[in-house]
Amino acid sequence: MEVGLLSEKIDERLKEQIITPTLQVRVYLILVNGEEEIQNAYKRIQAGEDLAQGAPEGSLDTNSKDKGGDLGWVPKGLRAAEFDKAVFAMSPGQMSEPFKSSEGYYIVKILERDEAKDLDEATLDLVKSRAMSRWLAGEKEKVKIDYYVTSDKQSWAQEKANKERDKRIKKAAQQPTNR
């Protein structure tokens, strides 16, 4: 019960830190693993192919792949820093050149921009989850963990437990059965 109450308190604090309404953009994107793949997709788009046609073909983004690359509304801070830097500097109608982020290689087109859009429920949950992960990571870095059970001690304890188990099995096998 105590853990549940602490979790609720942390959740409330994180909600307070999430600013909504917030800046969001609606984007189409292609996300792939390799630089050659993204360059080829970019050349096809430059030659007149629609970005939405290229997205399902090779995109890694499962949220947008089946929608022709339409990721929907994205708030700042939800994706990788490189993504935010490129995308939030653009205006509606603009398409980025290929760029690399920690998630892979992107081409992004901005459809709409809203300086004060409310987060939908699913995005709010995702933002809270990411905020919780960042908070936990920060807390873990503040704490020094000492491990008192070394691998030698663990091996010794396991060996002792195995010997005890073997004794019980042997004793049980020597006991006469009642028939």
CATH of the domain at 86: 3.10.50.40
Residue 20 tokens read as 């909504």
User: Cα 71–77–79 angle (5° rounding)?
Assistant: 45
The pLDDT of residue 94: 93
Domain-embedded: residue 178: no
Place of tokens 């690359």: 69
Domain-embedded: residue 143: no
Domain total of the chain: 1
Highest mean pLDDT out of 30-44, 59-73, 138-152: 30-44
Domain-embedded: residue 36: yes
Q: In which band, very low, low, confident or very high, does the pLDDT at 159 lie, cut at 50, 70 and 90?
A: very high
Domain-embedded: residue 96: yes
**Residues with Cβ < 8 Å from 106, sequence gap 6 or more?**
29, 30, 31, 38, 83, 86, 96, 98, 99, 100
36, 29 in Cβ contact below 8 A?
no
61, 43 in Cβ contact below 8 A?
no
Q: What percent of the chain has pLDDT over 90?
A: 22
The pLDDT of residue 55: 60
The pLDDT of residue 131: 77
Domain-embedded: residue 23: yes
- Collapsing DSSP to helix, strand or coil, 73 comes out as strand
Q: pTM to 2 decimals?
A: 0.63
Task: Give me the domain span that covers residue 39.
Answer: 19-118
Is the pLDDT assigned to residue 60 strictly greater than 70? yes
pLDDT tens digits, one per residue of 79-133:
888 999 999 999 999 999 999 998 899 999 999 999 988 888 888 778 777 777 8
Residue 124 tokens read as 């709010």
Torsion angles phi and psi, residue 47, rounded to 5: -80, 0
CB 171: neighbour CB atoms within 10 A? 9
Domain-embedded: residue 87: yes
Q: In which band, very low, low, confident or very high, does the pLDDT at 177 lie, cut at 50, 70 and 90?
A: low
